[in-house]
């Protein structure tokens, strides 16, 4: 029987635990990207052997421009890249010859998204053609279509039209379908029915395979922490199908877009470009769109991490068309009105508040009033000039301690680039053990802290450097590509992690 993660009455996770952060895409596989295949199950077994209780992943949606899992064509749909193709062979939907001549990339330690896009849909189309002759499969698909009609119909139509127009953003489509004229919608649904059915088929495969993997993890005591981006991209089925939820003008163009202002890391800030929500009107219907979104996340994951949680207190708005996020304004968000609605609708859902970035008193107050565990990052802790709230001796129980996140370098990367005084401070704080690498010093600090949950990146346990960094915020071209080599971990590593778990009662 699968058990869900729980919070106690004070908002703390009910038992000290630890977990590992690694996205599905980073798993080994012969098809250019990690998937829900045998390596995912093997990794769950590794987590269990290492006495971990959590596997944290990044968003599972279909990626769009820039290949970022935080920029998805849909907040409800799943990524076709994660479908296990070997499982389709076992089902008789694919044969070995279907893969002849396909190129998946040349480097097993990096995802080649261009190669992936070109090859993946070739084999999925072949699988769909065979599935059409499987009566039982098509009956399952009909049931899936009925059960998910609230989002699936618009998503599959959106993807079919996008394919028809050569991948163009819906902002560049013909006005009738861009503005969702009823006659145009009916026309395209009929014209593109085969492509729509293909998209439905892909989503069925994704959800069936994910549920199987999630159940396998749950049976071994592993909870899944999933990530929910606070925003959705402009070029998404979400904005196209529900324009009334977003700050768009009468021609469906954004008025202001999301980002963050300049900081220590980025002189121009980060211009994300996501359309902003009409929080006032959302509040009048009980944030219905958001509640559907949270419900879907609650089905996918055991614990939901809300990215950029501070945007619920106040968000940075930049005029649409600006070149950078340098010039913008802070606007008050929905604050506790939204949180109260969320908690009333989902009283048993465990949520982690990602409260990194510009943390003001308003953000601190929101996190405190919400009662959700927040985040502490060890790589941010060691400033030799001042005391940091990220130092373990400052923690309360209700928090999650990380070595670093997907937006940070690895611990080894941090150690190689840190200021000498900061590095000396970190070593002194950790006990300056000459026989212990900085990675394991960080692991010991996190494991021994009072934080309810400690999470390390898998790259850290593998003691990899900056070459294994997942994302460098504010840049394009080389992010989200890192993959773990086949055979990179073993029983000895699992045993070493398990010893720390036992030592610190995790």
Would you name the residues annotated as active-site residues?
307, 354, 407
Helix axes 288-300, 149-164, angle to 10 degrees: 90
For the record, the structure tokens of 5 come out as: 């993660």
Q: Give the residue among 91, 117, 321 at the shortest CA–CA distance from 208.
A: 91
293 close to 75: Cβ distance less than 8 angstroms: yes
Strand order in the sheet with 314-319: 270-275, 256-260, 314-319, 329-332
Q: Please tell me whether residue 424 adopts helix, strand or coil conformation.
A: helix
φ, ψ at 500 (rounded to 5°): -65, -40
φ, ψ at 21 (rounded to 5°): -100, 115
CA 84 to chain CA centroid, nearest Å: 19
φ, ψ at 395 (rounded to 5°): -75, 150
In angstroms, the CA 265 to CA 379 distance is 14
Q: Are strands 350-353 and 223-228 parallel, antiparallel or unpaired?
A: unpaired
Q: Please tell me whether residue 273 adopts helix, strand or coil conformation.
A: strand
In angstroms, the CA 226 to CA 348 distance is 16
Q: Are strands 329-332 and 350-353 parallel, antiparallel or unpaired?
A: unpaired
162 close to 170: Cβ distance less than 8 angstroms: yes
Q: With residue 130 as reference, give the H or E element that holds it.
A: helix 113-131
Q: Give the residue among 159, 178, 331 at the shortest CA–CA distance from 255.
A: 331
For the record, the structure tokens of 3 come out as: 């058990």
For 267, which DSSP code? T
The DSSP secondary structure of 452-494, one letter per residue, reads SEEEEEHHHHTT--GGG----TT--SS-S-B-PPTT---HHHH
For the record, the structure tokens of 297 come out as: 């996340």
Instruction: Determine the straight-line distance between the first and last CA of the chain, rounded to whole angstroms.
Output: 22
Output the CA–CA distances (angstroms, integers) from residue 336 to 170, 313, 343, 366, 446, in the order listed: 34, 8, 10, 7, 30
């Amino acid at each position: 029987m699968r058990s869900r993660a729980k919070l106690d009455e004070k908002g703390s996770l009910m038992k000290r635990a630890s977990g590992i952060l690694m996205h599905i895409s980073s798993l080994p596989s012969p098809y250019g990207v990690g998937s829900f295949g045998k390596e995912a199950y093997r990794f769950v077994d590794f987590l269990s052997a290492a006495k971990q209780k959590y596997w944290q992943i990044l968003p599972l949606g279909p990626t769009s421009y820039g290949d970022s899992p935080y920029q998805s064509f849909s907040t409800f749909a799943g990524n076709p890249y994660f479908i296990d193709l070997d499982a389709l062979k076992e089902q008789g939907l694919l044969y070995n010859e279907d893969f002849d001549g396909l190129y998946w990339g040349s480097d097993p330690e990096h995802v080649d998204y261009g190669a992936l896009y070109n090859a993946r849909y070739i084999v999925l189309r072949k699988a769909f053609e065979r599935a059409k002759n499987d009566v039982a499969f098509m009956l399952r698909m009909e049931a899936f279509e009925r059960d998910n009609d609230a989002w699936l119909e618009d998503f599959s139509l959106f993807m079919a039209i996008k394919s028809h127009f050569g991948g163009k953003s819906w902002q560049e489509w013909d006005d009738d379908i861009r503005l969702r004229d009823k006659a145009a919608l009916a026309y395209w649904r009929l014209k593109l029915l085969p492509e729509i059915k293909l998209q439905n088929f892909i989503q069925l495969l994704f959800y069936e395979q994910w549920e199987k993997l999630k159940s396998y993890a749950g049976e071994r005591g592993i909870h899944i922490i999933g990530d929910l981006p606070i925003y959705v991209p402009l070029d998404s089925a979400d904005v196209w199908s529900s324009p009334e939820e977003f700050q768009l003008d009468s021609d469906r163009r954004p008025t202001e877009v999301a980002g963050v202002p300049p900081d220590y890391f980025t002189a121009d800030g980060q211009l994300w470009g996501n359309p902003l929500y009409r929080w006032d009107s959302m509040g009048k219907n009980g944030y219905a769109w958001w509640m559907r979104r949270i419900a879907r996340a609650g089905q996918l994951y055991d614990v939901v991490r809300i990215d950029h949680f501070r945007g619920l207190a106040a968000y940075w708005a930049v005029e649409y068309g600006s070149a950078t996020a340098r010039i913008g304004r802070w606007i008050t968000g929905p604050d506790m009105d939204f949180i109260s609605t969320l908690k009333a609708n989902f009283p048993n859902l465990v949520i982690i508040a990602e409260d990194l970035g510009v943390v003001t008193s308003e953000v601190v107050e929101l996190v405190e009033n919400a009662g959700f565990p927040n985040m502490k990052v060890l790589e941010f802790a060691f400033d030799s000039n001042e005391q940091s709230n990220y130092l373990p001796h400052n923690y309360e129980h209700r928090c999650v301690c990380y070595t670093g996140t997907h937006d940070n370098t690895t611990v080894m990367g941090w150690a190689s680039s840190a200021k000498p005084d900061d590095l000396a401070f970190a070593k002194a704080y950790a006990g300056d053990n000459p026989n212990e690498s900085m990675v394991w010093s960080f692991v010991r600090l996190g494991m021994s802290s009072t934080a309810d949950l400690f999470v390390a990146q898998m790259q850290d346990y593998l003691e990899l450097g900056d070459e294994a960094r997942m994302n460098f915020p504010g840049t394009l071209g080389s992010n989200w590509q890192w993959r773990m080599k086949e055979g990179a971990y073993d029983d000895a590593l699992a045993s070493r992690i398990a010893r720390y778990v036992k030592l610190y009662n995790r």
